[in-house]
Amino acid sequence: MVSDNAQSEVGEKWTTILPDALIPSHTSEPHNQHQNPSEAEWGRLGKMVQNNLHVFKAPASVSNWCMMYCTQINNVCARKSLHGRTPLEISTGNTPDISHFRFHFWEPIWYFAPDIKTPKNNLLKARFLANAEHCGDVMTYYIMTEPDKGKKQVLMRSVIKTRRKNIGSKNKIY
C-alpha cells in the first residue's frame, strides 16, 4: 500500500489494520504525487467524469452517479499498460461481459412501471445512471425518474428501453 502520508492513512486504526491483513506499506515523499501510481488514475477518472457530465449535459448533482458509471466503464476497457487486458480481467481472471453496457450516462430512457394498469401508459420517462452490479440480474440498472410532483427517485429496474430514435443513423435523435 502506497500512501501520501495523509492524516487519515497514518492514524492508529490504519497502522493496526495493515499488519493484521499482511499488507506492506510505504509512503511517498510529500508533494510528489507522481510517486503514487493511483494519483494519476484518480486524475484520469476525474477527467472522464467531467467529460461525461459536459457531453451528456447532466447536472452536477449526479456527479457521484457519473463517477460510478465511469468506474464501471474504466474497469472493462483494455489498456496497453495491461498488455491489452482489462482491470477487471486482471483482478478476476475472467474476460468481462460488456453486453449490459447498452446505455450511456444520463441517457433518456423509458422504464416499466408494473403498478400502472391499462389503459394508462405503464412506460414512464427516466434517465440512465449506472449498472446495478450487485442487485438483480446482469441487466439491472440504476435510473432516475423524471420529476413526479416535484420529486425524483433513483430506482433499480431491469425492464428499460432507450428513447432514442433512428439508432445507428446520422439522424439519431432523443
pLDDT of residue 57: 94
φ, ψ at 110 (rounded to 5°): -110, 145
Q: What is the pLDDT of residues 97-138, one digit of tens each?
A: 888 888 999 999 988 888 877 788 788 889 999 999 888 777
Tell me the one-letter amino acid at 172. Answer: K
The ranges assigned to domains in the chain are 1-35, 36-162
Q: What pTM does this model have?
A: 0.74
For residue range 24-79, list pLDDT tens digits in order. Answer: 877 777 666 666 667 777 888 899 999 999 999 999 999 999 999 999 999 898 88
pLDDT value of position 96:
86
Q: SS in 3 state form for the chain? A: CEECCCHHHCCHHHHHHHHHCCCCCEECCCCCHHHCHHHHHHHHHHHHHHHHHHHCCCCHHHHHHHHHHHHHHHHCCCEHHHCCECHHHHHHCCCCCCCCCCCCCCCEEEEECCCCCCCCCCEEEEEEEEECCCCCCCCCEEEEECCECCECCEEEECCEEECCECCCCCCCEC
